[in-house]
Amino acid sequence: MSSSPANPRNVESRLAPRFHQALVAMPRSPDESHTEDWAMALVADAVQWKASDIHLEPGTLETRIRLRVDGVLHDVAVVPNFSGHRMVAFFKTLCGIDATALARPEHGHGTMETGGILMEFRTTVAPTPDGEMVGMRLLNTKRPVLQLDGLGMAEMDQSRLRHWLDGRQGMLLVCGPVGSGKTSTLYSMLRELQSLPCSIVTVEDPVECNLDGITQIQVNAKRGLNFPEAIRAMLRLDPDYLLVGEIRDPESAHVAITAAGTGLTVLSTIHARDAVGAVTALRNNGVKDWEISAALGLCLAQRLVRRLCAQCRTRAPLTDEERRWFSENALEAHAMLWYGKGCDTCAGTGFDGRVGIFETWRLDADASKLILHGADAATLASHAKATGTRFLLADAVNKVRDGLTALSEIRFLGGLAS
């Protein structure tokens, strides 16, 4: 086993400069205060690179430290377990988790101020044979909410959303997997509504960002406040708009759709692959076709992909494999493709931040009729296309062509309709 505090093999130390500096400055026999220095340095690095998560993963001899930046986990340091365990203990205490060895996973939360920013952690600690693994989600509830036109949405998709905001016709559902930026999009929409003389309430788990002039409530399952309970309570406040963080079970689906049926404007998110998939997801949660048909107004599907670093992006001819991807997806191959070489601005990753891929489906009278008569997803998709919806894959390919992202980032959308 190496006696050095950090083993730099296969790690992207450029993402954790302060942490590595703290390791180098470490005396031979570090004490508790050094552990705190390490932890603070790691959090400062995470904040600098806008990491969403910090992982401490113990192995047989060493603990791997990783940051999730723009959706991708990067190894940033490997330290001996002796040091790793101390850091685990530090973060457990910070997040109010029992300091003794855990028999089962525990959750906690805590805060730390770094560079004038108060970061909030939602932490899970799980016992493994090699020690306790820590996963910390970083929340900056004071971060600025992006404007609708800062999300990377094409003109047509933006205009569909604005049209919905003006007319408030039916429920709006944002569809996509975990971590696809659904909540950020909803916040951007609320930002547009903030200035209007209306009452807006939200029910969230957790409240990811504090918004002025909007009443936000956090679901708290431990205290018996679940989504349906919280929604019912907020409805008594007589709001004009209700944001439900997520439709995740039949009960929350029922309460949200009932609220929408009473004329209230409801915005929410649901796990679905694409826009028409929202209908299937609602059906799977026990919502009846006539209820969906009456309530649903607009579905927006989205993903987040990494944005190419503007400082080091460059173009190259396609490889045979890339050319094949285009033909397999019945798409015309571009002449050249953009990729990121890696530079100091992007810590060598070639990417800097993320950009959304979107698909908006505005439900017209015919779409509502189709749902009422039980139309399947394929039928709804062809109707959506016929009425001007541009699908996720098509939007993604446009963004590759424009050099906003790389083909490697959107390949996972292959197989979706274009």
Residues of this chain that bind Zn ion (CB under 5 A): 309, 311-312, 343, 345-346
Residue 25 C-beta: closest distance to Zn ion, Å: 28
Per-residue tokens: 181: 């930026």
Residue 309 C-beta: closest distance to Zn ion, Å: 3
d(CA 364, CA 232): 29
d(CA 264, CA 290): 18
For Zn ion, give the closer residue by CB, 306 or 390. Answer: 306
For Zn ion, give the closer residue by CB, 171 or 346. Answer: 346
For Zn ion, give the closer residue by CB, 39 or 308. Answer: 308
For Zn ion, give the closer residue by CB, 199 or 311. Answer: 311
Residue 403 C-beta: closest distance to Zn ion, Å: 13
For Zn ion, give the closer residue by CB, 225 or 343. Answer: 343
d(CA 242, CA 232): 11
d(CA 364, CA 140): 38
Query: Which residues lie below 8 Å from residue 224, measured CB to CB, with a gap of 6+?
Result: none
The CB-nearest residue to Zn ion is: 309
User: Under a CB-based contact definition with an 8 Å cutoff, are residues 188 and 151 in contact?
Assistant: yes
Query: Which residues lie below 8 Å from residue 71, measured CB to CB, with a gap of 6+?
Result: 52, 179, 304, 306, 354
User: Under a CB-based contact definition with an 8 Å cutoff, are residues 389 and 275 in contact?
Assistant: yes
Torsion sign over Cα 168, 171, 176, 178: positive
Instruction: Decide: helix, strand or coil at residue 367.
Output: helix
Residue 314 C-beta: closest distance to Zn ion, Å: 10
For Zn ion, give the closer residue by CB, 209 or 337. Answer: 337
User: How does strand 351-362 pair with strand 336-340?
Assistant: unpaired
Residue 49 C-beta: closest distance to Zn ion, Å: 13
Q: First-to-last CA distance in the chain?
A: 53
Residue 146 C-beta: closest distance to Zn ion, Å: 22
